[in-house]
């Protein structure tokens, strides 16, 4: 449940959600890159690292929260948009079964990037409506 002075999504404030999402993308890439010779298997970590850094910097420098959270949502949107590559596997002759790890990573980016971006937008709307009441802590 939302407290009157802080937006929450899935029970987490946006700083914790951002740090968690960045870590999820990095860990996902590391696990899926085991035994892979493909450089592209690391793409989720390339998106996750800036999200993680933005979350950590927001925690460390709450006065810059707005800037860092906008940086994070840009990378969340990139994750979402990059996930649409999943659908190109549906139309190819080999289909999704040719590269199941790649397909699952693309689907994960599509779903989690979309959810994270929606959470950020809802948070920005909440912050605008509650300007002056929001707390910059976690």
137 alpha carbon, distance to own chain's centre: 20
Task: Give a yes or no: residue 93 inside a domain.
Answer: yes
What does the alpha-carbon distance between residue 81 and residue 97 come to, in Å, rounded to a whole number?
22
Residue pair 58/18 in contact (Cβ under 8 Å)? The answer is yes
Please report where in the chains the tokens 């949502």 appear, as a residue. 73
Q: How many helices (H) and strands (E) does the chain have?
A: 5, 2
Task: Give a yes or no: residue 99 inside a domain.
Answer: yes
Global pTM? 0.84
Task: Give a yes or no: residue 3 inside a domain.
Answer: no
Task: Give a yes or no: residue 135 inside a domain.
Answer: no
- Name the E strands within 1-118: 8-9, 12-13
Average the pLDDT over 78-92 and give the result. 79
DSSP structure class, residue 6: B
Whole-number pLDDT of residue 133: 60
Task: Give a yes or no: residue 22 inside a domain.
Answer: yes
Count of C-beta atoms within a 10 Å radius of residue 92: 10
CA-CA distances (angstroms) from residue 82 to 28, 45, 113, 114? 15, 13, 9, 11
Q: Which residue has the higher pLDDT, 95 or 54?
A: 54
Q: Is the pLDDT of residue 77 over 90?
A: yes
Average the pLDDT over 51-66 and give the result. 95
Task: Give a yes or no: residue 138 inside a domain.
Answer: no
Number of domains within the chain: 1
The radius of gyration of the chain's CA atoms, rounded to the nearest angstrom, is: 16
Task: Give a yes or no: residue 56 inside a domain.
Answer: yes
Q: Is the pLDDT of residue 94 over 70?
A: no
Task: Give a yes or no: residue 13 inside a domain.
Answer: yes
Q: Which domain holds residue 76?
A: 8-129
Residue pair 102/86 in contact (Cβ under 8 Å)? The answer is no
């Amino acid at each position: 449940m939302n407290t009157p002075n802080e937006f929450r999504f899935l029970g987490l404030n946006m700083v914790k959600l951002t740090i968690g999402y960045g870590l999820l993308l990095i860990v996902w890439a590391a696990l899926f890159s085991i035994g892979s010779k493909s450089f592209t298997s690391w793409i989720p970590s390339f998106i996750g690292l800036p999200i993680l850094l933005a979350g950590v910097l927001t925690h460390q420098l709450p006065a810059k929260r707005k800037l860092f959270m906008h940086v994070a949502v840009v990378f969340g949107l990139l994750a979402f948009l990059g996930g649409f590559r999943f659908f190109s596997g549906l139309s190819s002759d080999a289909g999704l079964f040719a590269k199941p790890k790649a397909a699952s990573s693309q689907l994960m980016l599509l779903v989690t990037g979309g959810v994270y971006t929606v959470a950020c937008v809802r948070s920005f709307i909440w912050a605008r409506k509650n300007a002056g009441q929001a707390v910059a802590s976690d």
